[in-house]
């Protein structure tokens, strides 16, 4: 393996703080959709026609509010770490998930940028292996970082190539 391809191991890296805005925008859209559903449902079940209706609305609103308030913490929980031979990725506060993927298992890397991402100068990096369930998608990277990370991962995979 070449020296250039050796990663600085041991440090967790976080994604850009600007990604919070992308998540909040998503949350807002979700809220609007939920409100629309609630209005329609009100016309059908509302005005005391079904006792559970206000309770359901209340629960949904509380969950939505909680999830929106927790957005910054959730974004801060997304982190990745380049170890000697594998990529470690972790996310979630309520539902935590940690994945380790050997560099040699990389099949390809995608960089996706939605309209909001583009506006904020962010990008999402997807590390694709032969297994569909691996699901290593690092969102909210600064665009230049995502490209540097992609090149680094490709170089690492090259030196540690394995079959399927």
Determine, following the binding rule CB under 8 A, whether residue 164 of this chain makes contact with other proteins.
yes
Minimum distance between the CB of residue 92 and other proteins, rounded to whole angstroms?
8
Site for other proteins in 140-159 (CB under 8 A): none
DSSP character at residue 3: S
Tell the smallest beta-carbon distance from residue 135 to other proteins (Å). Answer: 8
Q: Is 86 in the site for other proteins (CB under 8 A)?
A: yes
Residues 95, 101, 107, 109, CA torsion sign: positive
CB under 8 A: which stretch of 22-30, 50-58, 60-68, 95-103 binds other proteins? 95-103
Residue 113, SS3?
Answer: coil
78 DSSP 8-state letter: -
**# residues near other proteins by CB under 8 A:** 24
Q: How far is CA 142 from CA 8, 112, 121, in A?
A: 19, 12, 6
Residue placing its CB nearer to other proteins in the complex, 99 or 154:
99
Pattern 99-138, other proteins, x by CB under 8 A: xxxx-xx-----------------------xxxxxx-x--
- Tokens 């292996």 appear where? 129
- Which of these, 73, 75, 61, lies nearest to 16 by C-alpha position? 75
Which of residues 6, 85, 147, 152 is near other proteins by CB under 8 A?
Answer: 85
Tokens 């079904």, located at residue: 50
Q: What is the Rg, in whole angstroms, of the alpha carbon atoms belonging to the chain?
A: 20
Reference 100, options 115, 90, 114, 113; nearest CA is 90
Q: Which of 28, 29, 148, 162 binds other proteins (CB under 8 A)?
A: 162
Contact residues for other proteins (CB under 8 A)?
Answer: 85-86, 94-102, 104-105, 129-134, 136, 160, 162-164
């Amino acid at each position: 393996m070449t020296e250039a391809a050796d990663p600085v191991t041991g440090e967790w890296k976080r994604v850009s703080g600007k990604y919070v805005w992308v998540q909040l925008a998503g949350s807002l859209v979700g809220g609007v959709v939920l409100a629309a559903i609630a209005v329609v449902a009100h016309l059908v079940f509302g005005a005391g026609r079904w006792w559970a209706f206000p309770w359901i609305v209340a629960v949904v609103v509380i969950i939505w509010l909680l999830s929106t308030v927790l957005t910054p913490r959730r974004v801060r929980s997304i982190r990745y770490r380049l170890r000697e031979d594998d990529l470690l990725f972790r996310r979630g506060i309520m539902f935590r998930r940690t994945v380790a993927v050997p560099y040699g298992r990389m099949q390809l890397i995608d960089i996706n940028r939605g309209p909001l991402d583009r506006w904020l100068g962010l990008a999402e990096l997807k590390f694709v292996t032969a297994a569909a369930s691996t699901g290593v998608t690092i969102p909210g990277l600064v665009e230049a970082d995502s490209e540097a990370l992609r090149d680094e991962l490709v170089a690492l995979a090259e030196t540690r190539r394995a079959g399927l």
